[in-house]
Amino acid sequence: MTATTRADLAQVSGVASERDAATRGFVFNHTMLRIKDPRASLEFYTGVLGFTLVRKIDFAEAKFSLYFLVLTDDASAIPDDDAARKQWLAGQPGVLELTHNHGTEAEDGAVYHDGNSDPRGFGHICVSVPDVVAACTRFEELGVPFQKRLTDGRMREIAFIKDPDGYWVEIIQPTPLG
């Protein structure tokens, strides 16, 4: 049975009967993707999808770097001071953390598993856009690879594009397609 109402959802096996008060204020802050080439990934996430790079941390001794990105229509709200920006970032929902292990950019072929073939695991991230048709037209013009176009399959209201590491990015719009 598909759960269609909040009452139905509350009956799904394993769901807590009510939210524990101790979890109030919890925010799903970020997800992390390992990337092969930071330049290619940053061009994709900032240039194609419109993310803003908010923080970069290099761990030279451990040979990795972290890049934190957000989707925001008001970049002026991002604090300039690093300590204030770190605190601001920790309270934001939907942050994308890209982790680059130094040296992977020189390796041939794919370095990381996208989770969409055996053994399956991680599947995709999702970006909601105001107009999915216009967004997909733009992605096509930019030469972005598609996993699924709007015209493919039964679900004609969603698309999947691929980032430089082959991770899938679902593209949806919050309103029904006209």
Give the model confidence (pLDDT) of 82-138 as tens digits: 999 999 999 999 999 999 999 999 999 999 999 999 989 999 999 999 999 999 999
Is 140 marked as a binding-site residue?
Answer: no
Q: Are residues 75 and 131 in the same domain?
A: no
- pLDDT at residue 1 above 70? no
Q: Are residues 108 and 141 in the same domain?
A: no
Active site residue 141: no
- pLDDT at residue 178 above 90? no
Q: State phi, psi for 101 to the nearest 5 degrees.
A: -90, 115
Is 170 marked as a binding-site residue?
Answer: yes
Q: Are residues 97 and 134 in the same domain?
A: no
Average the pLDDT over 46-50 and give the result: 99
pLDDT at 140: 98
Q: Are residues 103 and 174 in the same domain?
A: no
Q: Which residue range forms the structural domain that includes residue 140? A: 124-178
pLDDT at 2: 83
Mean pLDDT over each residue of the chain, to the nearest integer: 95
Q: Are residues 89 and 31 in the same domain?
A: yes
pLDDT in tens, 3-20: 789 999 988 999 998 999
User: Which of 107, 140, 141, 170 is an active site residue?
Assistant: 170
Assign residue 138 the CATH number of its domain.
Answer: 3.10.180.10
Is 107 marked as a binding-site residue?
Answer: no
Q: Are residues 38 and 89 in the same domain?
A: yes
DSSP assignment of the chain equals ----SHHHHHTSTT--SS--GGGTT----EEEEEES-HHHHHIIIIIIS--EEEEEEEETTTTEEEEEEE--S-GGGS-SSHHHHHHHHHT-SSEEEEEEETTGGGSSS--S--SSSSSP---EEEEE-S-HHHHHHHHHHTTPPEEE-TTSSS-TT-EEEE-TT--EEEEE-SS---
